[in-house]
Structure 1
C-alpha cells in the first residue's frame, strides 16, 4: 500500500466465486510456470497468535496465510495479494492490470469491486493525501463480545505509573480473556498505539487474574473512544528505510526483564512495529538497548529481503536510530567496555551488518 500510494499505482479489489469448488485434493497439484511471474507465501500471523473471528471468512488453525503473486514485465509490475477468495491487485501499468484482469476472468468467476474497501476486516478510507486503514467494524465487534459497547471512553490504553502486581485472585472466565486479548492482537495491525498494552495483556494468557481483566477492560474503553483512529498511508518522495528502536531497563517488577519496541518506516509511512518483552534479563541499560537494536535489525533484514523479492528495494542502506550512545558505539566496536562483555554473541550480528555497510546506526535524542 505504501508503494502504491507513493507512486500513484492502480489499486483494485477482486472477489472469486466458488473458492472451495474442488474441496480437498488427494492429487499433487503443479503451479503453471511463467518467466515473468513469482509467488511468495507469507504468514501474516505467527503460530503463537490467537486467530480472531473474521465474520464470514474464518481462518482455521494457528494463523492465516496471504499469498503475494508478482508479475514483472520489463518496467511494468503487478502484485496480487490473495487470501482464499479475496484479492487486492495493484500495479504501475493500467493497461497491464486490465489485461491480467481479463485473463483471470476467463479462468475464474471474478467480481471486480473497484478500489479496495474492506479486506481481512481492514477498511480502506480514501482521503485527499492518501489512504487510512482502519478496523472500526472489528472494534465494534470486539466491544460487543466484551459487553463494553456502552462503556465510558478513556484517553490512554494503559497506565505507565501503575505496574502490574502479582495478584492471585483468578479471573473467573479465562477463556473470555484469551479471546478478547487475541482479538486485540489482530486489531494492532492498524493500531500501533495499543501495541504495548496488548503485549502486556498477552503475557498473562495462561492464568489471568481480576487485575489483568481490569487492564483489558481499560484497553477496550480506550478503543471505544478512538473508534475512528487508523493507520495513515500517504505519498512519500523517498523509499528509504528508517527504523527507530527503544527499550526500558528492568521495567517489569515481576521478573525484571526489559521491554523493547521498534517502528520501521518506508519513506514517511509506518509499515512495521512491535512491543515485546525481552527473553533474558539485561544487566545494563546499554545491553537492553542493544537487544532492542538486534530485534529491529532482524525485522529490517526481513523487510529488505521481501522488497528484493518484489523488486522494490532501495540502493540506500537502511538507517537504524537508537537513543543510547553505548549501544550505538557497541555496533561499531564490540570491545567497547568491560561492562558489555557479558552480552550474548548472537546479538553481535548488528555489528556485522554495520561493518559490511548494509545498515547504518545513528543516535537520536530521547526527547525526539
Structure 2
C-alpha cells in the first residue's frame, strides 16, 4: 500500500495505490499498481474516509461540528436542540424534540444500514441507568470481565486501591511477560472513565509500563481487589437546575520518590455533578510547592476553558466567571499579582495564562482549606477513612451498598434500574 501526494487543480491531494495481487497476469512488473477510487476497510485512509462520509450526512440536516470536540454535532433551532455524538460507527442521538430525533434517524436510514437500539443503556462498556433521581454511569460488567480475565473473581476485596504507606520503586524481580501487566493497566485506564477513585492508583502503575516488576504487579492486583469490593461504584448525574462550573486543583509537590516530580490533580463540577478529573505526573521538576500548584492551576484552567466552550455550543452560554478552588495561597497571589518576580520567571508561560484569565474575569480563584480539598484523592494515597469521605463528596456512590437496599434492582444482564 502506498500514498502519493499529487497536485490536482492547484490543490494538494492524496492518491492511494495498492500493489497488484500475486495472481494478476502483470504482477511481475513492480511499476504497475492499482489506483483505488475509494478507501477499503482496514486501510489507513478508511477511518478518515468514513468520518468524512458520516459527518457530511449529519451536516446535511443542519447539525454543526463542535469546535471543542470533532465527534460532537449540535443543532440549536426554535424547534429544539439536537445533539449527536459519534464513535466510529456508534452514535448517541439526543435532544428535547422527539420528532427531530425521528427525522434524523430516517435520514440516516436512507444513507446507511443502521440499527436503532432504543433508549441508551450500554455504550462502549459504560452502563447507563436513568430515573427521576438522575442518570447513573458505571462499568460493572466491564469490571467483572476484567476480574475474570485476571482470574481474580474469588479474590479477597480491599477497602482502598493503594496502601498509604507503600512507596513505588524500581527494585524487585522484573516480569518475564510484561504484556500481561500492560494489558491489565490499559484496561484499568479505560475504567477510570467512571471511576475517579482509582485515577491516582492507575496513573501510578501506568508509569512502569516498559519495565514492570513483581512489586508493580502486586499493586495492580491490589487495585483489582479494591474493584472486587466496589463493583457497584459509579457516578450519579442529577439535574440541579444550573450549569455553574466549579473546579478544584491541587498538586503533591515532589511526591514521586524516583524522580521527585510533582503530581497534578483536578476535578471539575458542572451543575453540581462531577464531569472531569485527572491525575498525572508533571513533566518538569518544580522547585517549590507554589510552582507545582501553579502548574496544576494552569492545567485545570485549560480544562475549565474547554468545558465553558463546550457548554456554550450546547446552548448554555454563561458570562459568569468560573471558580477555581486552590489550597495554596502563594499560587493564588501569583495569579492576581501583575508584577513578575525573579523567583517565578521560569514559570512565566503558566503565570501569563492564569493571570490573563483571572484579569479578564473568566476565572476567579478562591481559597479552600486543605481539609476540604477534594483533589487529594487524585494526588496521593490516603487512609481508608479519608479516602471514603472524599469519595462520597465527589458524588461517587455504590449502588450495591446495603444502605441503598430497596432502591435498586439488578437484572441478570447486569443492567441497573434506579
The two structures share one fold, judged by TM-score above 0.5: yes
Deviation at 1:181, TM superposition (A): 0.4
CA distance in 2 between counterparts of 1:352 and 1:40 reads 25
RMSD: 2.5
Verify the 8 A CA contact 2:161 2:226 in the aligned structure 1: yes
The size of the alignment, in residue pairs, is 326
Verify the 8 A CA contact 2:136 2:237 in the aligned structure 1: yes
Does structure 1 residue 117 correspond to structure 2 residue 121? Answer: yes
Verify the 8 A CA contact 1:247 1:288 in the aligned structure 2: yes
1:152 match: secondary structure: coil
1:361 match: secondary structure: strand
Alignment CA distance shift 1:334-1:170 (3 Å): farther
What residue in structure 2 maps to residue 289 of structure 1?
293
What residue in structure 2 maps to residue 13 of structure 1?
none
Structure label with greater radius of gyration: 2
CA distance in 2 between counterparts of 1:355 and 1:340 reads 18
What residue in structure 1 maps to residue 62 of structure 2?
36
- From 269, 275, 286, the equivalent of 1:271 is 275
What residue in structure 2 maps to residue 249 of structure 1?
253
Deviation at 1:344, TM superposition (A): 4.1
Mapping of 1:1-368 within 5 angstroms?
23=41, 31=56, 34=60, 36-40=62-66, 67-74=71-78, 76-333=80-337, 335=339, 339-368=343-372
Verify the 8 A CA contact 1:263 1:270 in the aligned structure 2: yes
Where structure 1 has 5 or more consecutive residues not aligned to the other structure, the ranges are 1-20, 44-65
Deviation at 1:279, TM superposition (A): 1.1
CA distance in 2 between counterparts of 1:367 and 1:227 reads 28
Deviation at 1:352, TM superposition (A): 1.0
Mean Cα deviation higher: 201-210 or 309-318: 309-318
Verify the 8 A CA contact 1:36 1:73 in the aligned structure 2: no
1:343 match: secondary structure: helix
CA distance in 2 between counterparts of 1:195 and 1:348 reads 29
Deviation at 1:71, TM superposition (A): 2.4
Mean Cα deviation higher: 312-321 or 204-213: 312-321
Where structure 2 has 5 or more consecutive residues not aligned to the other structure, the ranges are 1-38, 373-418
CA distance in 2 between counterparts of 1:287 and 1:215 reads 30
CA distance in 2 between counterparts of 1:42 and 1:327 reads 28
CA distance in 2 between counterparts of 1:337 and 1:366 reads 26
CA distance in 1 between counterparts of 2:274 and 2:348 reads 30
